[in-house]
Structure 1
Amino acid sequence: MTFQTILFTVADGIATLTLNRPQVMNALNAQMRTEITAALTDLPETVRCVVMTGAGRGFCSGQDLTDAPADADFERVLRDEYEPMLRAVIGCRVPVIAALNGVAAGAGANLALSADLVIAAESASILQAFTRIGLIPDAGGTWLVPRLAGHARAMGMMLLAEPVSARQAADWGLIWEALPDDLFTEGVARRARQLAAGPTSAYLAIRRALAESGQNGIEAQLALEAELQGVAGRSADFREGVAAFLEKRPARFSGR
């Protein structure tokens, strides 16, 4: 698969998807959205974890405004281009880490927050920039941010359009962790190796359980847990995990 706006490499079960328009801080245009969707939808079978990051100084500055004229049909763009991309991230068959090497703004921020795990360099920041140009947050932001950081913080981020530092984002629970810049690359790699070596089917069941917990009552959630645990209990990974525990050795999960 050949791409023009992203870099895509696979090594040791880890796919690295790099947004690669550094001259515009990796702003999202139609081609990039299509390529991100294609890369995540058609992963090689060997991939057990995806790391999504940005080339150059930033993760993603959001929508490329030169690719969206003032008379653009934003509803169509969101439905036909953004929604498939976000579904490809949220529904990816393996865990996705968003590695924020720099600013994540607008739709770029919400693309990052749609990942399973967000790790940021301390010099990075997150910015809901939409009101600066008279728009509302999109790309899932109005659903993701209040659930991650709470209503008051979501409202402040979106009304004021001020950057939130990586450290503050971690303190708020908006992202998983903020790492010193000199430890960022290895920290992301360590987490990716951990996930790539782990029980992938259990990870995806956790993702489903957490996604449905917001709309379920306790009885429905208990039933879902029982269903998912029943499947996990019949998996090869569970059998391997128990064997490894009893034999006092690291588990060698297959993701099945």
Structure 2
Amino acid sequence: MSDAGAATADPVLYEQSGKVVRVTLNRPDMRNPLAGDVIEALIAALERADADEGVSCVVLTGEGKSFCAGGNLNEIRKLSAEKTPLEIAEWYRRGIQRIPLTFEKISVPVVAAVNGHAIGAGCDLACMADIRIAGESARFAESFLRVGIIPGDGGAWLLPRVIGYPRAMHMLLTAEGVAPPKALDWGLVTEMVEDEALLTRAHEIAEAIASQPPGALREAKRLMRQAQVQSLADSLAEAAVMQGVLQQTEDHKEAVSAILEKRKPSFEGR
């Protein structure tokens, strides 16, 4: 893509097919950094998908040969030169930190299809998704120390929860890249596929997710996410309330009937 095209193209693409939406970071000439316009467009796309009851899964990927190269170094250098420490802190709060907070609040499941580089904030962005699969050319790196900063976008909270504290510390303190075989072994991704099969496989997973009863699907994600910060007793209490509601829905009754009658269910979100 030319520089002129980069200036005019939508920073994030939003494409819907049935109950699945593909959200694509669209700055391939710069390896899809999380610059200001991309941040705003990504948040808007996630909120749009979450608000649409007809959407049951999002596939998140990057246009071109990279998933996301992290922060825009030119933007960061300008920020360091022109703003005070307090102003920089406020920039993070009003900017990139809104991305993990958006992921935390949405109930629609997100599958990250990681193509090429997922570096720094790009690695953390992948960790914000519920499921991650990688193409064989994917490379993950928690590389903030290489440029003398720390994960300002939630990486210190996210990465240990995905791969465990010791491995997260290894990635952070060495800034070494992690290729798909190790990423698969460490649990950073659940599948590794050939690059040309990445989006096809991501959409297969998304379609499998979207085939579930839509109300129960979103409640299941909420329950799993909330359980990460709840006691067992609190999680059980919340599950009991959710279950009481879900077992009165038409979709629950349809699911049970379809299994007993050996047919494909038809869910209506009721």
After TM superposition, the score normalised by the length of structure 2 is: 0.87
Amino acid at match of 1:52: L
- Please give the alpha-carbon distance, in whole angstroms, between the structure 1 residues aligned to 2:140 and 2:269: 33
85-94 or 100-109, larger mean C-alpha shift: 85-94
2:174 match? 160
Residues 59-117 of structure 1, C-alpha deviations (whole Å, 9 max, x = no match): 00000111222235432222112232223333334211111011111111111111111
- Please give the alpha-carbon distance, in whole angstroms, between the structure 2 residues aligned to 1:203 and 1:153: 31
Residue correspondence of structure 1 range 218-233 to structure 2 within 5 A = 218-233=232-247
Q: 1:53 aligns with which of 61, 73, 87?
A: 61
Is contact 1:198–1:255 with CA below 8 Å preserved after alignment?
A: no
2:23 match? 17
1:29 match? 35
Tell me if 1:113 matches 2:127. Answer: yes
Residues 191-244 of structure 1, C-alpha deviations (whole Å, 9 max, x = no match): 111122222322322222222323322222221221222222122321111011
137-146 or 41-50, larger mean C-alpha shift: 41-50
Higher Cα Rg, which structure = 2
17-26 or 66-75, larger mean C-alpha shift: 66-75
- Please give the alpha-carbon distance, in whole angstroms, between the structure 2 residues aligned to 1:103 and 1:37: 21
Amino acid at match of 2:64: G
Identity %: 37
- Please give the alpha-carbon distance, in whole angstroms, between the structure 2 residues aligned to 1:255 and 1:195: 14
59-68 or 41-50, larger mean C-alpha shift: 41-50
Amino acid at match of 1:86: P
- Please give the alpha-carbon distance, in whole angstroms, between the structure 2 residues aligned to 1:177 and 1:3: 31
Amino acid at match of 1:59: F
Q: CA deviation at 1:136?
A: 0.9
Is contact 1:197–1:252 with CA below 8 Å preserved after alignment?
A: no
Tell me if 1:92 matches 2:106. Answer: yes
Report the aligned-residue RMSD: 1.9
- Please give the alpha-carbon distance, in whole angstroms, between the structure 2 residues aligned to 1:231 and 1:75: 42
Q: Residue 255 and residue 180 in structure 1: after superposition, are their counterparts in 2 closer, same or farther (change >3 A)?
A: farther
Unaligned runs of 5+ in 1: none
Unaligned runs of 5+ in 2: 1-7
Is contact 1:3–1:35 with CA below 8 Å preserved after alignment?
A: no
Amino acid at match of 1:4: D
Amino acid at match of 1:97: V
Tell me if 1:197 matches 2:205. Answer: no
Task: Tell me the secondary structure at the aligned position of residue 66 of structure 2.
Answer: coil
- Please give the alpha-carbon distance, in whole angstroms, between the structure 1 residues aligned to 2:14 and 2:191: 24
